[in-house]
Structures are given as C-alpha cells and as structure tokens.
C-alpha cells in the first residue's frame, strides 16, 4: 500500500483506470476513434485554393466558429468540413420543437423507446441540413475564389461527400458514447480544438516582443478557465421531501424521506453563445456581398461590415461586442426557460408524491421554482456574457493580436474535460477505487 500512497492522487487514479481491462478498452477505443477522425479531417476535397481559403478565414469570423464545430476540418475543407455542426443544429431544432408539437411531445414521453425515436428523427433531419449547409459553403467559397466554378455533377458529388463526412463524424461520436468514455459528439469537437493548440502556442512565441502582454494574456486565460469550472459546477439545492407508505405488522405507517433538486446556475451551457454569435455575425456576412471593393467609395454595406466586425478596435468594436453581450444574456434566459419547461419539475414532484417544505404543491411550487430559476439564471447569464466578451477584453488589455482566445472553445474544453473525468470517476468508484475528484 505504501507505493500507492506515495504516488500523486491523479497519477494513481490514471494507473488504476488503465489496470482495469474494460475501462482500459474504453479509453483506448476513444483515443483510437479520435485518431480516425483526425485522419478524415485531413482528406481534402479537390479544387480548393489553400491560400485563398486561409485569407477567407482571416476575414470572416463565422468561418472560425464553423471550423471549431468541425473539429478543425473546415480549415482544410476536407470531407468532414462541416463536422457535427448539422447534427447539433438538428438537435437544437428538435429540442425547440418537442414542447411545441403535440405528436413529438407524446413521443418524448414514451421513455427509452421515445428517446430512440426522437434520436432517429434527429438523424434524418441532419441529412437535409448537412446538404443545405454543404451547398451554401460551396457557393460561399466559390464567390470568394476558393473553389473554381464547377458543373452540376461535380457540385452534387462534393455535397454528397460533405453529407457523408458529417454522418461519419456523427457515427464516430455515437460509437464513443456507447463504447468509449464521455459524450462522443462533444469529444470530437474537443479533439479538434485541442489539435489547434500547438498552432496557438507557436503564434504565442511570435509575441515575444510583447512579453508582458503575453503573460497577462495567459493569466486572463487561466482565470477564465477557473471561473468556467466554478460556474459549470455551481448549482442551487432545493430541498424536497417524499412521504412513503410502509406496511409493517398488518398496519400502514407513513415515513418521510428527504433529498434535493440541484438547479444549475448555468443551465443553458454554451448554447446562448452559439445563438448570439450566429445572430450578431449574420448582418455583416450578408452586407459583405453588397459592399464595394477595397479602394472604392464605401457604401452603407461597407459601414455595416465594419460595424459588425469582431476584429475592430475601440471604439468601433464596442458596438459588436456590446450587442453580443446583450444577446448572450437574452438567449441564456430564453434557453433556460425552454429547458426548465421541458423538465416539468412541479409535475414530476406531484406525481412522485414529493413536495418542497413550506411550499404548497401545484401552482405554488411552480411559481417558487420559476422564481428561483430566474434568480440564479441572472448569475449564469452574466457569467456567459462576460466569458463571451473575454477575447475582446484580453486583446484590448494586453495588445496581443497573434493569439485568439475562443470563449466557446474554452467552455467546450472545460465542460468536456469535467464530464469525462466524472464518468471515469464513476467507473473507478463503482469498482471501489479512489477517483480523480475528491
């Protein structure tokens, strides 16, 4: 036992995880499928001008967001250029439609079979969304000179290849979820973000002339990660009591049991950032098609492009990031309310015979829970909004331009890392090993 106690706790937990055959197989399978995904991400479609594609990424912020969800494959415009983004879009659409359409709501209440049917519908919805997004990307890249004009048959072939690449990535993610460790879709996005870290570190060395600013930038990034961990794990515990009937000695006795409902401070996760960025980038992207070329007199479209440019310095940048800040808060409340209504916690408590001490069941419980979720959502919404504008603040404070801190990237990396560690923790604790988290 002395060697085990002498080792650091995290190292010992890793050794314990690899000493278990089934857990070791899950970890190696997850790593192997990630390697397969990275290979696919480097299989490019033909006829792509790499230098023009890089120039487009430097000018268009939306391409950077889509590249993140593709796991870095869009920067190479590979067959997996769209990654799992169409599937995420389909999942969000289904999540919003389920409480609206009675038929879908009935299916979702059928237990495990209902969840499988909803998942199957989400997969079918992913295919046309992937086709539309793939064709839209080809049109956009064609207008920017990244892809030479092609005929109908080559275009159809490329769209089908992009759809196949998306469904292949979704399949890899589901294999990881079922046979590996963690949520497969999230881990694929996580793998793509982590794969871009060496390039970011390399760009950091280019900022050696601004060494003080680089150190402050790193400290801001570490502080942001710490805040993300705190708010990701933060929750408000609502005490709940259950009355149970127990039959003993020919008589019926009532016993009370107590537990709690953990209401997360950040219920919405990173979804508000995705919605807000999509909305705030859209006007500039549309206006770019009508803007006059460089050197010509600027028109209204040129002013809109400059107004919605995330790379704009002060004071022009305040408009873009201010709108982004407010949209994140608004979408955080909207998405939290959608999720909360779907959970129907007051109805679940009433059906299970539970009640909140001091609160009458039914409408009073619903009003109380709505009051609490509104209060704590303010903290979660402000946290997301501050994290969203952190890249702008870090750039203005440190004057480091070569490194781009991605708020969504940090949220994804921290969230996926915590979720994966919790799953490993559960596997180790189930086998009576000491886990990662104390």
Spatial contact of 266 and 404, defined as CB atoms under 8 Å apart: no
With pLDDT > 70 as the criterion, what percentage of the chain qualifies?
A: 80
Three-state secondary structure call for residue 182: coil
What is the reported pLDDT for 200? 67
Name which of 61-70, 77-86, 117-126, 232-241 the model is least confident about. Answer: 61-70
Spatial contact of 136 and 286, defined as CB atoms under 8 Å apart: no
Q: Who has greater pLDDT, 173 or 293?
A: 173
- pLDDT digits over 319-336, tens only? 888 888 999 999 889 888
- pLDDT digits over 34-79, tens only? 889 888 888 878 777 777 777 777 666 566 666 666 656 777 788 8
Decide if domain 1-195 falls under CATH 1.10.3370.10. Answer: yes
- pLDDT digits over 170-215, tens only? 999 889 888 888 778 888 878 777 777 766 666 666 656 667 777 8
Name which of 199-203, 320-324, 344-348, 378-382 the model is least confident about. Answer: 199-203
Domain ranges of the chain: 1-195, 206-405
* Average per-residue pLDDT for the chain: 77
CA nearest to 264, candidates 384, 182, 413: 384
What is the reported pLDDT for 204? 62
**What are the E-state strand segments in 311-399?**
354-355
What is the reported pLDDT for 329? 92
Model confidence band, residue 303 (pLDDT cutoffs 50, 70, 90): confident
What superfamily does domain 206-405 belong to in CATH? Answer: SecY subunit domain (1.10.3370.10)
What is the reported pLDDT for 388? 85
What is the reported pLDDT for 127? 92
Tell me, yes or no, if the two domains 1-195 and 206-405 fold the same way. yes
Most confident of 101-105, 277-281, 396-400: 101-105
- pLDDT digits over 364-374, tens only? 888 888 888 88
The Cα 132–Cα 128 span in angstroms is 6
What is the reported pLDDT for 124? 92
- pLDDT digits over 389-418, tens only? 888 787 777 776 656 667 777 887 888 888
Report pTM. Answer: 0.73
Q: Who has greater pLDDT, 3 or 409?
A: 409
Strand order in 251-264's β-sheet? 251-264, 235-248, 354-355
Spatial contact of 15 and 46, defined as CB atoms under 8 Å apart: no
């Amino acid at each position: 036992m002395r060697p085990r106690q002498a080792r650091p706790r995290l190292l010992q937990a890793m050794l314990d995880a690899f000493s278990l055959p089934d857990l070791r197989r899950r970890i190696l399978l997850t790593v192997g499928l990630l390697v397969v995904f990275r290979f696919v991400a480097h299989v490019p479609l033909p006829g792509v001008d790499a230098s023009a594609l890089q120039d487009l990424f430097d000018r268009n912020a939306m391409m950077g967001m889509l590249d993140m969800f593709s796991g870095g494959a869009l920067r190479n415009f590979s067959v997996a250029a769209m990654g799992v983004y169409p599937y995420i879009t389909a999942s969000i659409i289904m999540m919003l439609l389920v409480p609206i359409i009675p038929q879908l709501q009935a299916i979702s209440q059928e237990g495990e079979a209902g969840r499988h049917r909803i998942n199957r519908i989400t997969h079918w919805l992913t295919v046309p969304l992937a086709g539309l997004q793939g064709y839209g990307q080809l049109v956009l890249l064609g207008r920017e000179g990244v892809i030479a004009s092609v005929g109908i048959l080559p275009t159809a072939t490329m769209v089908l290849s992009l759809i196949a690449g998306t469904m292949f990535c979704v399949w890899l993610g589901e294999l990881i979820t079922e046979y590996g460790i963690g949520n497969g879709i999230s881990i694929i996005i996580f793998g793509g973000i982590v794969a871009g870290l060496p390039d970011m570190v390399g760009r950091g060395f280019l900022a050696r002339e601004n060494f003080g600013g680089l150190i402050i930038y790193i400290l801001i990034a570490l502080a942001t990660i710490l805040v993300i961990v705190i708010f990701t794990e933060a929750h408000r515990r609502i005490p709940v009591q259950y009355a149970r009937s127990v039959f003993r000695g020919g008589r019926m006795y009532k016993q009370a049991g107590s537990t709690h409902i953990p209401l997360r401070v950040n219920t919405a996760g990173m979804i508000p950032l995705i919605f807000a960025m999509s909305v705030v980038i859209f006007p500039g992207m549309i206006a770019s098609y009508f803007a006059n070329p460089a050197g010509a007199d600027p028109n209204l479209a040129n002013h809109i492009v400059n107004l919605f440019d995330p790379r704009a310095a002060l004071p022009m940048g305040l408009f873009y990031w201010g709108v982004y800040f407010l949209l994140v808060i608004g979408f955080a409340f909207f998405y939290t309310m959608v999720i909360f209504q779907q959970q129907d916690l007051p109805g679940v408590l009433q059906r299970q015979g539970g009640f909140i001490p001091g609160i009458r069941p039914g409408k009073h419980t619903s009003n109380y829970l709505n009051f609490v979720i509104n209060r704590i959502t303010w903290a979660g919404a402000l946290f997301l909004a501050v994290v969203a504008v952190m890249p702008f603040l870090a750039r203005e404070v440190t004057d480091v331009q070569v490194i781009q801190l991605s708020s969504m990237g940090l949220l994804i990396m921290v969230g996926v890392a915590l979720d994966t560690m919790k799953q490993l923790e559960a596997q180790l604790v189930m086998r009576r090993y000491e886990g990662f988290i104390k």
